[in-house]
């Protein structure tokens, strides 16, 4: 079983224009203004569509989520109560389907759609590729029409998360006519950090409120579109506001937050009868062009546009949706990766990589001028590998101290003379 650690990206958010209905915090959702979701709701709200969020579960009692939730499944504890003890899955879910017009909290992209929560990651964000694949298969066979995958390896350098099991499960979902939306990854590398099932997979990068690529967002090969993901700047109003457990709201940044905007637009299209690859093509064709004219490495086909996507498909899909489960996250600020203390102590720091040349990979994790973990490993060329650097005695002592531990992950690939650097934050 190959472990997968969720890279959580959580940050901050500010007032936007034109609050929808009577949701008191809609004015803070600049992200919905950016994709023109309110204008889209005159034509479609996603009624009849089902979005599966394969993640850490959902806060089932959240007042902005509870009425949106269908019976789901928990592959971590093997039961039918996918309760979110992490917050990531709930935050992602609220972006897509939070109730609109209920006088509580926020609005969402597809408030008429229903949420199918599938828990494949534990409260510390860890899980296995087998569980993720099983969760995708379960969603496919339990009514999902759109699957959202805001997942990723912890510190990928190049290449994809997950491996053959997840790749095969995504292919089965695509073959069954589902829309599969996945986060591009938060490592700023020039490749969509998702499985090789790129054919038909809708990979989503992140932009900030200024429509600039978020510094952390991966891009380039395999990128389909971009969506609001925040800037991770240490100021309110920069990131994405959504639901967190048990009944709160937080601002968070990441491609994890960008993906459910696109999943929500896919649900709007499904509600109007456009499914599978037809919906994917519509999203690509109606995206707002950014950067160089046409499809480009920074922004793919452009910024997803909910209004343009549903234009001309008929009016009034009706339904405003209700509440559903929500959950929160950890503030990341300028850091791209967040790792839970207990997961770091038990499992060390995991680096997902693919190298052009065979040879030895050197990994060092440094904090406050000290090396707290290191690993040398020989890897083959062209194949994704996870290399684990376990904390040494000093690292374990530092990780146990109160407060967050900030560290740099230095990775030297075969044939390269310089380290590639990623930053992480270990929190309680």
Residues designated catalytic: 55, 88, 256
Q: Rounded to an integer, what distance in angstroms lies between the CA atom of residue 181 and that of residue 164?
A: 18
CB atoms within 10 A of CB 382: 11
Q: Rounded to an integer, what distance in angstroms lies between the CA atom of residue 215 and that of residue 334?
A: 10
Cβ atoms 422, 336 nearer than 8 A: yes
3-state secondary structure of 315: coil
User: Which ranges of 297-340 would DSSP assign to H, the alpha helix?
Assistant: 306-310
3-state secondary structure of 53: strand
Q: What is the DSSP letter of 121?
A: B
CB atoms within 10 A of CB 280: 23
Q: Rounded to an integer, what distance in angstroms lies between the CA atom of residue 226 and that of residue 289?
A: 10
- Residue 205's φ and ψ, nearest 5 degrees, are -95, 175
Cis peptide before 246 (omega within 30 of 0): yes
Q: Rounded to an integer, what distance in angstroms lies between the CA atom of residue 266 and that of residue 82?
A: 24
Taking each continuous run of H as one helix and of E as one strand, the counts in the chain are: 10, 20
Produce one character per residue of 173-204: b if its CB has 16 or more CB atoms within 10 Å, e if not: bbeeebbbbbbbbbbebebbbbbbbbebbbbb
């Amino acid at each position: 079983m190959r472990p997968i650690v969720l890279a959580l990206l959580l940050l901050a958010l500010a007032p936007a224009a034109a609050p929808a209905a009577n949701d008191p915090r809609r004015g803070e959702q600049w992200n919905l203004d950016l994709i023109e979701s309110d204008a889209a709701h005159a034509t479609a709200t996603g009624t009849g569509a089902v979005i599966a969020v394969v993640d850490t579960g959902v806060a089932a009692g959240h007042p902005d989520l509870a009425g949106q939730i269908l019976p789901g499944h928990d592959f971590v504890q093997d039961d039918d109560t996918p309760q979110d003890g992490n917050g990531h899955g709930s935050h992602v879910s609220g972006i897509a389907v939070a109730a609109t017009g209920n006088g509580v909290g926020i609005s969402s992209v597809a408030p008429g759609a229903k949420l199918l929560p599938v828990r494949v990651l534990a409260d510390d964000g860890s899980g296995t590729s087998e569980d993720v694949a099983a969760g995708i298969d379960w969603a496919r066979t339990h009514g999902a029409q759109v699957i959202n995958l805001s997942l990723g390896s912890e510190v990928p350098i190049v290449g994809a998360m997950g491996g053959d099991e997840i790749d095969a499960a995504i292919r089965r979902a695509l073959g069954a006519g589902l829309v599969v939306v996945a986060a591009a990854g938060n490592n700023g590398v020039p490749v969509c950090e998702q499985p090789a099932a790129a054919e038909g997979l809708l990979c989503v990068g992140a932009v900030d409120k200024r429509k600039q690529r978020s510094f952390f967002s991966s891009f380039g090969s395999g990128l389909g579109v971009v969506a609001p993901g925040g800037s991770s700047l240490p100021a309110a109003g920069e990131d994405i506001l959504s639901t967190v457990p048990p009944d709160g709201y937080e601002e968070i940044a990441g491609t994890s937050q960008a993906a459910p905007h696109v999943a929500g637009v896919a649900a709007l299209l499904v509600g109007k009868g456009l499914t599978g690859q037809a919906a994917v093509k519509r999203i690509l064709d109606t995206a707002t062009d950014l950067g160089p004219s046409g499809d480009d490495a920074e922004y793919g086909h452009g910024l997803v546009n909910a209004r343009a996507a549903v234009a001309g498909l008929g009016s009034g899909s009706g339904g405003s949706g209700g509440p559903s489960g929500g959950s929160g996250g950890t503030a990341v600020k300028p850091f791209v990766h967040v790792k839970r203390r207990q997961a770091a102590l038990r499992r060390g720091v995991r680096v997902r990589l693919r190298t052009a040349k065979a040879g030895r990979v050197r990994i060092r994790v440094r904090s406050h001028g000290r090396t707290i973990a290191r690993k040398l490993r020989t890897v083959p060329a062209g194949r994704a590998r996870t290399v684990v650097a376990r904390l040494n005695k000093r690292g374990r002592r530092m990780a146990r101290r109160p407060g967050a531990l900030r560290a740099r992950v230095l990775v030297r690939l075969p044939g390269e003379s310089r380290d590639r650097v990623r930053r992480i934050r270990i929190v309680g």
